[in-house]
Every structure is written in structure tokens, then in C-alpha cells.
Structure 1
Amino acid sequence: MSSPQDPYQPGQPGQAPPQPPLPPQQLPGNSGRAFPAPAGTYPEAGPFGLPGQHPPAKNRRKLWIILAGIGGVLLLVVLGIVILINVAGSATNQARGLADGFTKMVIGGQSSQAYDEYLDPALKEQLSKEAFIAGVDTLEMDESCKPTYNDLQVSTDNGVKAADVAGVITCGGKEVDLAYRFEGTEDLKMTNIKLRPKA
């Protein structure tokens, strides 16, 4: 038999091997209740410093708020660009449509109707219908003539829209320079016109 001071020697009769200590959660007879670790032992430090410490939630919330704000600003910028393109595109299309409608009427021999429908009252005061029709007739245009619009600019100033259209009407071997200006708030009317043989 060994003395109390002697260390345990395996294989000695009458001596039971020592039991390893159980973790605090598995102590016998505690019916599933956890007990704190015995004094002098500490759980391992977590990844953020103190034992069991979780990452601060405020930093993530701030990050999401910043990202949402940036996303909102980008969305507004994209929407603004799309709206601007659509507005500019529709004004350009409107001006091109007016110029094309007027030119086709003049080429087709409907100068009187073009004068009535497209010219602004202020321009009609400066240019009589008779003078307009006589001027168009001197150009000797016919159905073979085709317009080409080289420059089309639209703008808005204090709610008044303006469109400047410039181009050429090609009639076989001759060309006619054209330049129109349309203005108005809703319906644009021609306020300036130039139709003359190309030099």
C-alpha cells in the first residue's frame, strides 16, 4: 500500500484511478443548471477582447445608414438624368416634328396652309401671306425635294420653350438653305424663317 504522499501508480491494487474534473455545466446532480466556473479559472477571451463580447451593433447600423444614403443619392441622380434626357428628347422630337411638318407642306405646294398653321401672329404681322407664298414659289420646289436637318437646338427660358432648326432642302441638283425658330409655352409657333437658295 502506498502512503498518502506517494503518487498514484497504475496497476496498484485497491486504488481507483482519479476522475478528470467535469466542466461546470456537467456537474452531477445539478439537473442541467449551469454554475459559474470555479474561482481562479476564466473563460477564454472572445475575438473582440473581453470574454463573450460581441461586435458593437451601432457600427453596423451606421454603415447601413451611410450605404442607404449613398444609394438614395445615386438613385436620385440616375432618375434626374433619365428625366432630363426624356424632357430634352421630347422637346427635340417636337421641334423636329414641327420643322418636318412645315417643310413638307411648303414642298407639297400647301404654302397657304403652312402659313396659317405654323407662323406666329407676330411673324404674320411682318410677313404677309401673299409675300410668303410668292417667296416660296420662287424656290421652285417639288415632291422630289427632301429636307435634312443639320442642327436642332432646344431651350427653355422662364417657361418659354424655343427651338432652332437649321438644314438643307435638296431638290435634284439644287439646294435650299432653311432656318426656323419656334417659340411658345405650350404650342410652339414659328417666329423666324429663312428659305433661300444655297450659295
Structure 2
Amino acid sequence: MSSPQEPYQPGGHTGSGPQQLPLPPQQPVSGNPQHQYGRPQQGQYAGSGPFGLPGEQPPARKRQKLWIILTAMVAVLLLVILGVVILVNVAGSASNQAKGLADGFTKLVIAGDSSRAYDDYLDPALQEQLSKEAFISGVESLGMDETCQPAYNDLQVATENGVKSADIAGLITCDGKNVDLAYRFEGTDELKMTNIKLRPAA
């Protein structure tokens, strides 16, 4: 009669049945500090993008929007500069035209050619108010001669409803006397004198 089997004793070796050995604890996989126990660490996925999330691309839309804004600002600035340049050129051209008219008229009356000055520069509306004879006699009464020189110290030009205007004031300096002058020219294409004042300076 056989004796009963003794229970399993650790460290002992009794019986002929299969023995179960305890498993060793898991160890970190050597050679890759990014992995622990053979599994990827959080956030360390292969192919992750440079901005934190897997596969995320750079914010190209924000960059494109910035370039559009900058381009629009540059375009607006160029338009403003162009407008200022055009305005300055137009104003300068109108001022030069008005000064040229005043100078041409004044040189004629100083030279004694008042009849031509009347015909070439006065607007028909002013000619209706001031006859040629009255104009010529008024200029002669000032006694101007070749020693007289005009100087324009105030010149203002404007455009309203397509009508240009220029107001010019100055002084004609002669030997022993001075003459105040004030002219107004108006017109759309060609400017004509609509007001005139020539009188001895006080």
C-alpha cells in the first residue's frame, strides 16, 4: 500500500509531476530610453509632428493671412503716396499757371500795352463792366514805366464744381512809388480775369 503524496513544498523536490516556477519581474527594455517595459511613453509616438500632436502641420493659414494683411497695408500706403504726389503736382501746376497769367498781364500794362492786356486777359463779363477806354486811362494814371517790377506775395488757387479760380495779390515797385495789385482769374480750361485792382500803395 502506497503512502499519500506530500503537498508541494517550496524549495523541495518531491513527486514527479510538473513544477510551476515563479515568473521573474519585468525589466525595462535596454537601449531605448523613450520606452519603458517595451511600450512607447505618452507623447512619443512615431511620426509625431513638431507642434506637439501626431501629424500636426505648421499653421500655414495664419502665415498666409499675415502676408495678405501686410500686402494690403503696403498697397494702401502706395495709393496714399501716389494721391499726395498727384495733388501736389496739380496744385503746383495751377499755381504756376495763375502766376504766369498775372505776370503776363502785369508786364503788358507796365510796358504801356494796356489795349492788348484788356483784349487778351479780361473775361467778357468784366469787359462789360469796364470799358476799354476806362481801363486804359486808369492804367495810364498810375504812371508806371520800365523801372517797375512786380512781386506776388499771395497766390491762392482752388477748384469748385470743375471751375478753377486763382486769387493773386502783390506789389509793383517803381522808382519813387509803389502800386498795389489784386487779380482774380476764373475758368474751366482757360482762365480769364474776372476782377482787377490796381491802385497806388498807401
TM-score, normalisation: structure 2: 0.76
Question: Partner of 1:156 in structure 2?
Answer: 159
Question: CA offsets, 1:63-102, max 9 Å, x none?
Answer: 0000011111111111111111011111111000000000
**Partner Cα distance (1:68, 1:179) in 2:** 50
Deviations 1:4-58 (A, max 9, x none): xxxxxxxxxxxxxxxx78xxxxxxxxxxxxxxxx962634965422256442110
Which residue of 2 is the match for residue 92 of structure 1? 95
Quote the Cα distance in structure 2 between the aligned partners of 1:179 and 1:193. Answer: 6
SS in structure 2 opposite 1:77?
helix
Equivalent residue runs for 1:149-188 within 5 Å: 149-188=152-191
Distance 2:170 2:127 in 1: 23
* Runs of 5+ consecutive residues of structure 1 not aligned to the other structure: 1-19, 22-37
Aligned pair 1:73/2:73, yes or no? no
Q: Partners of 1:43 and 1:140 in 2: how far apart?
A: 103
Letter in 2 for 1:180: Y
| d(CA) in 2 for partners of 1:55, 1:146 | 75
- Residues 93-145 of structure 1: per-residue CA shift (max 9 Å, x gap): 10000000000111111110000000000000111111101000011111111
> Which aligned runs of 4 or more in structure 1 are off by greater than 3 angstroms?
41-47, 51-54
- Count of residue pairs the alignment pairs up: 166
Structure 1 residues 180-199: aligned runs within 5 Å = 180-199=183-202
Question: Is 1:60 paired with 2:63?
Answer: yes
Which residue number in structure 1 is paired with residue 111 of structure 2? Answer: 108
**TM-score, L = length of structure 1:** 0.77
* Identical pairs, percent: 71
1:132 and 2:118 aligned: no
Residue 166 (structure 1) shift: 0.2
